[in-house]
Homo-oligomer: A and B are copies of this chain.
Amino acid sequence: MTSDPAQRGEFDLIAKLFAPLTGGDDRALGLLDDAAVIPQKAGIDTVVSTDTLVAGVHFLMIESADVIARRLLRVNLSDIAAMGATPSAYFLNLSLPSDIGNDWLVKFASGLAADQQKFSLNLLGGDTTRTPGPLALSVTIFGEAPAGHAVRRSTAQVGDRIFVSGTIGDAGLGLARLQDGAGDADHLVQRYQLPDPRVSLGSALRGTATAMADVSDGLLADLGHICEASSLGAIVEASAVPVSDAARLAIGPEDTDVLGLLTSGDDYELVFTVPPGRIDHVHKASVQAGTPVTEIGRMEGVPGEVTVKGSDGGDITPEKTGYRHF
């Protein structure tokens, strides 16, 4: 049980290793208390999201511990970005199998430290436990937005234009390459291992985007979430979807070749909807954040459904668009 003194002693050492990640933040109470204490401010909303990554399911143990740590933070940061919020803090739950040693933990903590600095957030608390199963990592992340201004999925409007950030489908190709033994130097592998959560773009789009989601399940699936939550349809032009040079080399030249990219996950780009009258604001936000954006379609058609059109205007919607709610 957790009251086993030997195990507690070991976990004290882990707490010592992670205490510097609080950055001396008063809210963490030095990780010495039963909880963190976070002062509230009038006029601000707290935005909270949580994600669990399990070894063998969401990452491979052949990956470097610092890369795993950074991806863990980044997939959570992407949820905050998708709400148009600014990240502020996180909590970490570690379930450790007995073969995870001190060296691994030191490297893991160094990855967290690097991305905490990059994205300006501190560790405020967590829990460490032993597991007979695979390594499991949960982050619960906090962000902030002006009251009532977090960007939701349910508020897209008919006729809105649909945009995505960056390029689509790289991560899915990267994961396949990683599983085939490709190394860290491969651009697509890098896109899978270290997604770039679009935090600056997300907050710059507050007040401009009517609805937003991050691309974690696949572009069509996540756009589908917006369609269902907003009770609207979406039409995507396959030829408009931004594809990286590396991904283009890996697929064929036809419209239909791009469909695999639209249904693969883990890109952590943003997909968002914008009224035609605000498109100039999107381009300003893109420049401000240093993140390219591309218009790929518009909100219209059968409510709850995403339709993909080829260059000839024909419907090339794949059977599996990722998934649909029931």
Q: Identify the A interface with B (CB < 8 A).
A: 1-3, 5, 8-9, 12-13, 16, 29-30, 32-54, 56-58, 79-80, 82-83, 85, 91, 93, 95, 124-127, 129-134, 136, 138, 140, 143, 145, 147, 150, 152-154, 172, 175, 213-214, 216-218, 221, 225, 228-229, 263-266, 320, 322-323, 325-326
Are the C-beta atoms of A34 and B213 separated by less than 8 Å? yes
Closest 4 CB pairs of A and B: A133-B133, A3-B265, A40-B40, A35-B49
Are the C-beta atoms of A33 and B95 separated by less than 8 Å? no
Are the C-beta atoms of B47 and A3 separated by less than 8 Å? no
For this complex, 12 residue pairs linking A to B, each with C-beta atoms less than 8 Å apart, are A2-B58, A3-B217, A3-B265, A13-B326, A32-B225, A33-B153, A35-B83, A37-B152, A38-B48, A52-B93, A53-B129, A58-B129
Are the C-beta atoms of A95 and B136 separated by less than 8 Å? yes
Are the C-beta atoms of A124 and B175 separated by less than 8 Å? no
The answer for the CA separation of A134 and B34 in the assembled complex, in Å, is 26
Q: How far is the CB of A210 from chain B (nearest CB, A)?
A: 14
Given contacts A5-B221, A38-B45, 18 further A-B contacts (CB under 8 A): A1-B265, A2-B216, A3-B218, A9-B323, A33-B152, A34-B80, A35-B49, A35-B82, A36-B49, A37-B45, A37-B46, A42-B42, A46-B46, A50-B91, A52-B127, A57-B132, A95-B136, A133-B134
Across the interface, name the chain B residue whose C-beta is closest to A36: B48
The answer for the CA separation of A47 and B50 in the assembled complex, in Å, is 17
Are the C-beta atoms of A41 and B40 separated by less than 8 Å? yes
Q: How far is the CB of A160 from chain B (nearest CB, A)?
A: 17
Are the C-beta atoms of B44 and A40 separated by less than 8 Å? yes
Task: Say how many copies of this protein the assembly contains.
Answer: 2
The answer for the CA separation of A143 and B172 in the assembled complex, in Å, is 39
Contacts of A50 in B (CB 8 A): 91, 93, 125-127, 140
Most chain B beta carbons < 10 A, residue from A51, A145, A263? A51
The answer for the CA separation of A213 and B43 in the assembled complex, in Å, is 32
Contacts of A263 in B (CB 8 A): 3
Q: Which residue of the partner chain, among B91, B95, B264, contacts A48 with CB atoms under 8 Å?
A: B91
Contacts of A152 in B (CB 8 A): 29, 33, 37
Contacts of A172 in B (CB 8 A): 3
